[in-house]
Every structure is written in structure tokens, then in C-alpha cells.
A and B are shown apart, each in its own frame.
Chain A
Amino acid sequence: MGDLFVLAISCIFINNILLAQFLGNCPFLGTSKKMETAIGMAMAVIFVLVMAGLITWIVDIYLLKALNVEYLRTVSFILVIASLVQFVEMFLKKSIPGLYAGLGIFLPLITTNCAVMGVCLINIKEDYTFLQTAVSSFAYAVGFGLALILFAGVRERIDIARVPKCLQDTSIGLVTAGIIALTFMSFKGMV
């Protein structure tokens, strides 16, 4: 139990998928302009990442490893994740229209998200068990959401700040992201 907690903490803070591993930068910059969008995106990522993490783990153990074709991992994961997201979209639309209304527009954005792909690959690389995979996927997604929401808050402030013309918008965004990443480095000593 304690191990799982440590795992979660390290996934959220120390190995934060956005700020320490630098995966998923496009949605990080693209959906962080407004707080509302950032929150919607964070929720959608949590939802999809947990599912994708578990499915890919199963695919890996029972198909890739069993058939000895691990070298096809990346390709097959892309296929599986994309189909999964499509499937989830259809499922939500029919069965849980309320949730679909909230997350619907973000789901297609996640189909091709490297943060999702990255986490699935990390799970395999670290040889996590099924339970550990579940926890790590969830925690990485929470880390993603945390960073995204923090960043959206900062960017809303930057919007009204005096920024030299050449640095406006994405450029200052990246600079700020770098500084936030530096502050996240201070979590390194925690565990």
C-alpha cells in the first residue's frame, strides 16, 4: 500500500509527465489559454489515460509478450489507443450523454496525444503490475491535469501583463513552462 502511495506521489510530482518528462506539450500549450478548457482537458485525460494504461498493459502481456512480437509495441499501441478513444466517445454519447457533453470535444484531441502513449510505454518499461499500472496511469494523468491547470492560471495572468511583442503568447508560454518545470525539479529529493 505504502509503495503504491510513493508511486503515485512520484508520478504526480517528481516525474510529472508534462514538466519533468516533457510529453504532451501540444495540448499543454493549446488548451491552457482558458481555465475552463484546461479543466475540461484535465478531466478527459484522467478518464482516457486510466483506460488506455490498463488496456495496453493487457495487450502487452497477453498478446505482444505471448506472441513474442514486442518490437511492434509502439505501432500496435497507437492503433489500440485510437480505437479505444473512438469507442469511448461512442459509448459515452449513447450511455452517459451528460459526461459526453462535458468531455466530448476533448476526446478526439487525446487520440493522438503523446502523453497517453508515453505513460503506456513507461508502464511497460517499468514492469508494473496491473494494480501498479492502474495507479501510475491515474497519477500521471492527475499530474498532467495539475500542471495544465496551474499553467492556465499563470497564462490568464500573463494575458494582462506587459510582455514585449517578440515574446508574446506561445513564446512567453514556453518560457514560463520552463520556469515552472524548474520549480518542479525541487520535488526531486522528496522520495
Chain B
Amino acid sequence: MIPALLFMLGIGAVCGIVLSLSSKVFYVYEDPRISQVENNLAGANCGGCGYAGCSAAADAIVSGKEMPSLCVINSKEGTQAVAKIMGINAGSAESPMSYNMCEGGLRADNKYHYMGISSCKAMSLVFGGKRVCGVGCIGLGDCVKACQFNAVHLGSNGYPVVDDDQCVGCGACQKACPKEIIEVKTLSEKLMKFNQVNDPLAPCAQTCPAEINIPRYINQLREGKYKEAVQTIRMRNPLPLACGRVCPHPCEDQCRRGVEDEPVSINQLKRFVADYEMNTGSRIPITCAPDTGKKIAVIGGGPAGLSCAFFLRRIGHQVNIFEAMPKLGGMLRYGIPEYRLPKKVLEWDIQGILDLGIKAFTHLNFGVDFGLGSLMASGYEAVFLGVGAWEDYSLGIDGEDLNGCFTGINFLQRISSGEKIKLGRTAAVVGGGNTAVDCARTLLRLGLDKVYIVYRRTRKEMPANEVEIVASEEEGIHFVFLAAPTRVVGDADKKCTQLEYLQMQLGEPDASGRRRPEPIEGSETLLDVDMVISAIGQSPDASFKKHDPHARMTQLELTRWNTIDNDPAILQSSIPYIFTGGDAATGPALVVDAIGSGRRAARSIDCFLKGEPVEPVKDSLQEKRIEESIFTSVDGVKQIQRAKMPELHVNQRLNSMVEVDLVLPKDSAHKEAERCLNCCRICYNPDSDFPISK
């Protein structure tokens, strides 16, 4: 007994001494935080995080490669403890969630009859699955089998449905999916997702410049889930009320139903759900990712700036908006008139954005009241320049400075601000865009007897929204087409009395494909008007570049149209920490374009702040169409009348600024939503009384 004890003690002592000595000799400095972090991980060595065991994960967290929320099965307390060790705000634990992209499921045609084992992975080995669609869901539920938490089940339409309450974001389903259908993403990743070439996208969703998931929200509307529909829209568009009213809906031009029938009235459905939220009076909560502690300045409170601020805030950054005018909204407030977008409505949209914790400072003109230097000194790490295009082009003709002559944006902005302008009785508005039409319709409402729109091409070439042109025709605006103003004639008091123009004829098509108007010699004609408004286009006012004394500002490059030069895929300007989008970067465009670019800039700014290279989205679809999804004929679609937009009768409109376009009533909205084919890349639901031929 004694010898045994002695022997074991001896061996134990030898081993102990050797080990303790060698731990000195072979000592490798290891960040003490690694073991502290490891103690606070789940300790299951499960590999769910993608690292080989907990110590490897701890190492990755301490070396800054991963966030404290890396461990997928860690408790909230554990994650917070890790975050504390790392000195990061505990909030950084943003848990990922599974998200299904394909809502096609069983609808796509089969290429062959499959009798093999019931596994997506197995089926995908045979010509990528039996479905005709190369990217879509195979529907055998490998993700369902992979999920340990019963968070995924196959819905009645054959595609996986995720139960957000059960999902812990472990990523097992994503690993099991042989396609890129089910993805585990954090809220920030979902907000910063951009359309890619291989995504399951309906034609409309590919076309929308803001990349809204259109079929998804129409479907939610159809099921009566208005709240969810608004949330779907807000994943991409922070201004659903404003957009629902003024968007010229390029998506509807690509609507698959439109191939055989009238397109679905997508934008009115957006307005319907957005108005629903406003009319209930209570706001649907908007979720934001935990704070990151980074601070960004957004200059310009138009749609581009608001969108950029909204998305940056939602992914956890701190954002402040600086605006030159007394109120936010940009052209939405100061350009688009009250009767198209009531200020009260706009206010609701903007307040919802500010409620996320965004501060807005108004009456502050960038370059004059503050500059790049002061922003940098106050700790802003990046700047978004969304200053819009507010400088009217001048006509460059004699008499332009007579009393009674105005420029479009300037005029609209002064009217919107409530300024009393001395008006005449008759007016000519020069130009064919939205600004011109809005000026003309506003003038009519201000009580003028006769308003002309003088445009140098024909109606077909007018760039204004079609609905606007139709409305102005109804309201009795006179159109003078093929007319190029040459002179404003004034009287002795320097008051405008007539506009002289040359008649034009259409010649050869120019670079833009529109036929170039050519003047007819000696065709000068006089139009009796006592007001002339020129609305022939705008460019950004880049005077801040001159005014800002900060030396770096001279490096900001402008294009020859005075827009801020940037890389269109990442929206970074020639100064790396300045990003830009909206009209300031593209010249006059649409509200949705500005919203889309605000989000794109938010993604680039996020990359920039994380110290990652600012690179374009891989396989980004940006502005392109997926060829296989654009059909020339569509089976199973019959003619069903498109919901007609209710509007105020002309008699009621003209003596006030009340809103003209009205929201669809509930039953028509649902009927309209039924018209949607719920498309994906190639699948769609034919009209209900057509037998499904698949």
C-alpha cells in the first residue's frame, strides 16, 4: 500500500513539475481576454459559429474579427458579459434570423419526374433540382430537418416558413440548403441586402429603384396583414406615404400582368397600406439594430438624406441631419405642391423617421453656417451629401429679369413656404417636366385665369408623370407645343406683358432617341401673359464647395453638370469619407431613386466605418433586368379591370390646395391585390379560374 501511494505521488509530482516548468518555458503570450471570453461562451464546442470550438471562437472575438454575439447559442447574459470584456456596448449582440427568399415553392414547372430520396441536397445533384427555375426552392425541406429548434416548417405553398420566435439564428438551415434560398441574416444584413443577379425576384421588384419586395407586400395586403405589408415596405422605403402619392411607379411598366392586361396598380396598393397606418393614428414600431457608437452627418433633409439617415439609424449608427431650410423634406415639401402631397401627410412620414432617434438641425446651410471642418471636429466619421438639385437653369433670353418672371423651383418653394407673391392674370410656364406641370397647376389654384405650358417638343416627349399631364389637361391648362421662347416683352414699368416664341418642327432623332426640335425661320409668335415661369431643369447648387474654407473641400470633384462626382455602384465621392446620392449626384430624378441611393450610400458608409473596403455589391442587379423573367406572353391571365384611382372632381379642385388623388377603398384595394400574379423569377399564379397547367 505504502509503496503504491509513494509511487503515484512520485509520478504525479514529476508530471506536475514537468508541466509547470514547460508552461514557463513554452509560454506564449495570449491575450488574457481570450480565456475570459471563452468562459462566457456557451462552451458546447458545437461549431455553430463556424469556428472549430469555443476557444477558436473566443480568439476570433478578441482579435476583433467577430462580434461578441458570435456564439449562436449563448444566453443574453453570456453575450453581454463577452461584450463587457471587449469594452463594446453590450447591445452589439444582434441576433441573426433565418429568412426565406423564394416564395415560389411548388409553382414552378418540373423538368423531370423525381423518385429519388427526399432531400434537397440529393435532388440538387441531379441537374440542380427538378424545377425549371434554377435558383428557387426545391421544397424537400432539408432546412426543416436541419433545424434543431423547430423554427422552420414547410408551408402549404411548399416553401419553408420561418417562425421568428423559435429561430435562434444558428445557421443550420442555411448550411443545409443547397441553393441560396434560406439565409440567416441579422436585421442589419437584411436592411443592407441589394438585389443580386441570382435572387428570386419578380419583374416589378427588379425594376423598383428602391428594391422593395413588391409581391410580398401585395400578398400581405391580400391576407389582410396591413401591418406586415407596411413593415415589408419599410425594409426598403422610409417614405411610404409620400412615395405612394408621387411615385411614377416604374415597377408597373414591367408588371407581368401588364403583358396581357393592364398592370397591377402597385403604387396605389402601397398608398393603401401606408394610409391605413396613418389613419389608425398609431405607428407600427420600427426595429433598429443595437447602437454601434459611430456618428454620421447627413446634409440635406430630402428623400435621399432621409433615407440614408433612416437606414444608418436602423443598422445602429447615430445620425444627425443638417438642413438649410426651416423644415425637412426637400423637394417633397418645397417642390411638390400641397394638392399632390399634403404637408400633414409628409409630416407623418418624416416624424416616423425622426422618432428612431435621429436629430435634425434646420436653418443650417452647409458651407455657410457650418462646414467639413466643424463636422470632423465634432466627431462625425462620415458625411452623406444629399443636397438635391435646387438651382434653376435660366432660359438665357432677353427680358428674363422683368417683373412677373420667375424660375420654377424658386417659385414653388416660395409658395410652399407661404410667401405672398404678387401674381398676374395669365401665365406661361416654360418646360415639360414635373416642375413645369406643378407650377402650372399651382398657378391655376392660385386663381389665375389662363395658364399655358410652353414646351419645345410634343406631348409624347414630356418628361412629367403621365398622371400629372392628364390631370392638368382636365384642369384646363393650355398647351403650346413645339415652341421655343426667344424673348420676354415688357412695358414701360418693366412689367412682363408678352412671351415671344419661335415655332419648331421635329427633325432627326438625337442621342436620347427623341426627335430633335428645329426652329422654323420667321415663325415668331407672341403670347399675351403677365407672368413667365421658366422650369426647364435644375442642377445642384454646389456653392458650398466655394464657401467652405476647409482645405479638403477643394478635392471634391464635380461633373460638368455640377453634380457631385461619385462611383455609382458605391456612391463614394472623390473624398473617401463623403458619400452622395439623390439629385445631388444624378441630377433631377425621382423620389424612389433618391430613396434607393440613400440606402446604397448607407451600406457603403457602414462598410467604410467598419474599416472594410468599400466595394460594390457582388453581382448587383442595379438597374438591370433578369432576362429569363421578362416574358413576351403570359398564360392564364384574363382581362380584369384595374382599380381606378378615386380623385376629386375638377370642379372641387381648382379653388383650393386640397389633395386631388384619393386612396383606394378597402374592397377595391383587395380586388386589385387579387390581380397580382404573385410572381417570382419565372413562376406566377395564373388567374384563379384558369386551371393550373402544371
- Which chain B positions have C-beta within 8 A of A105? 52-53, 55-56
Bound CA–CA A112/B12 (angstroms): 17
Q: Among B15, B25, B121, B122, point to the contact of A79 (Cβ < 8 A).
A: B15
Q: Is A91 within 8 A of B4, CB to CB?
A: no
Contact string against B for A residues 75-102, beta-carbon threshold 8 Å, 1 for contact and 0 otherwise: 1100110010011001101110000000
- Which chain B positions have C-beta within 8 A of A161? 117, 119, 122
Q: In chain A, what residue has the closest Cβ to B146? A: A159
Contact string against A for B residues 46-74, beta-carbon threshold 8 Å, 1 for contact and 0 otherwise: 00000011011000000000000000000
Q: Is B117 within 8 A of A162, CB to CB?
A: yes
- Which chain B positions have C-beta within 8 A of A162? 117-119
- Determine if A131 is an interface residue (Cβ-Cβ < 8 Å): no
- Which chain A positions have C-beta within 8 A of B55? 105
Q: Is B26 within 8 A of A72, CB to CB?
A: no
B187 to chain A, nearest CB (A): 30
- Which chain B positions have C-beta within 8 A of A75? 8
- Which chain B positions have C-beta within 8 A of A1? none
Q: In chain A, what residue has the closest Cβ to B15? A: A83
Q: Is B19 within 8 A of A160, CB to CB?
A: no
Best-surrounded residue of B12, B22, B53, B118 (most CB of chain A within 10 A): B22
- Which chain B positions have C-beta within 8 A of A93? 26, 28
A93 to chain B, nearest CB (A): 5
Tell me the chain A residues, 103-149 only, with Cβ under 8 Å from chain B.
Answer: 105
Q: Is B22 within 8 A of A159, CB to CB?
A: no
CB contact under 8 A between A90 and B26, given known A76-B7, A79-B11: yes
A3 to chain B, nearest CB (A): 33
Q: Is A79 within 8 A of B118, CB to CB?
A: no
Q: Among A59, A67, A95, A160, point to the contact of B3 (Cβ < 8 A).
A: A67
Bound CA–CA A3/B4 (angstroms): 37
- Which chain A positions have C-beta within 8 A of B11? 59, 63, 76, 79-80
Q: In chain B, what residue has the closest Cβ to A33? A: B47
Contact string against B for A residues 157-180, beta-carbon threshold 8 Å, 1 for contact and 0 otherwise: 001111000000000000000000
Best-surrounded residue of B12, B16, B23, B52 (most CB of chain A within 10 A): B52
B339 to chain A, nearest CB (A): 62
CB contact under 8 A between A67 and B7, given known A79-B15, A94-B27: yes
B482 to chain A, nearest CB (A): 69
Bound CA–CA A67/B28 (angstroms): 38
B31 to chain A, nearest CB (A): 14
The secondary structure that dominates the A interface is: helix
Bound CA–CA A147/B3 (angstroms): 42
Bound CA–CA A75/B5 (angstroms): 11
Contact string against A for B residues 121-136, beta-carbon threshold 8 Å, 1 for contact and 0 otherwise: 1100000000000000
Q: Is B18 within 8 A of A83, CB to CB?
A: yes
Bound CA–CA A78/B15 (angstroms): 11
- Determine if A191 is an interface residue (Cβ-Cβ < 8 Å): no
B628 to chain A, nearest CB (A): 28
- Determine if A190 is an interface residue (Cβ-Cβ < 8 Å): no
Q: In chain B, what residue has the closest Cβ to A69? A: B7
CB contact under 8 A between A160 and B121, given known A90-B26, A94-B27: yes
Q: Among B4, B26, B121, point to the contact of A159 (Cβ < 8 A).
A: B121
- Which chain A positions have C-beta within 8 A of B25? 94
Contact string against A for B residues 15-50, beta-carbon threshold 8 Å, 1 for contact and 0 otherwise: 110110011011110000000000000000000000
Bound CA–CA A72/B1 (angstroms): 11
Bound CA–CA A76/B25 (angstroms): 25
Q: Among A59, A63, A72, A160, point to the contact of B4 (Cβ < 8 A).
A: A72
- Which chain A positions have C-beta within 8 A of B18? 83, 87
A148 to chain B, nearest CB (A): 17
B179 to chain A, nearest CB (A): 15
- Which chain A positions have C-beta within 8 A of B4? 69, 71-72
Bound CA–CA A95/B22 (angstroms): 12
Q: Among B26, B52, B117, B122, point to the contact of A94 (Cβ < 8 A).
A: B26
- Which chain A positions have C-beta within 8 A of B28? 93-94
A7 to chain B, nearest CB (A): 29
Q: Is A87 within 8 A of B19, CB to CB?
A: yes
Bound CA–CA A159/B15 (angstroms): 44
Q: Is B117 within 8 A of A91, CB to CB?
A: no
- Which chain B positions have C-beta within 8 A of A63? 7, 11
Tell me the chain A residues, 36-65 only, with Cβ under 8 Å from chain B.
Answer: 59, 63
Q: Is B119 within 8 A of A160, CB to CB?
A: yes
- Which chain A positions have C-beta within 8 A of B52? 105
Q: In chain A, what residue has the closest Cβ to B117? A: A162
- Which chain B positions have C-beta within 8 A of A72? 4, 7-8
Bound CA–CA A94/B22 (angstroms): 10
- Which chain B positions have C-beta within 8 A of A86? 19
B267 to chain A, nearest CB (A): 45
Q: Is A76 within 8 A of B22, CB to CB?
A: no
Given A69-B4, A79-B12, list of 5 further CB < 8 A pairs? A80-B11, A83-B18, A90-B19, A160-B117, A161-B117
Question: Chain A residues in contact with chain B, CB under 8 A?
Answer: 59, 63, 67, 69, 71-72, 75-76, 79-80, 83, 86-87, 90-91, 93-95, 105, 159-162
- 10 sampled A-B residue pairs with Cβ under 8 A: A59-B11, A67-B7, A69-B3, A69-B4, A76-B7, A76-B8, A79-B8, A79-B12, A83-B16, A90-B26
Q: Which 3 A-B pairs have the closest CB atoms?
A: A83-B15, A94-B26, A162-B117
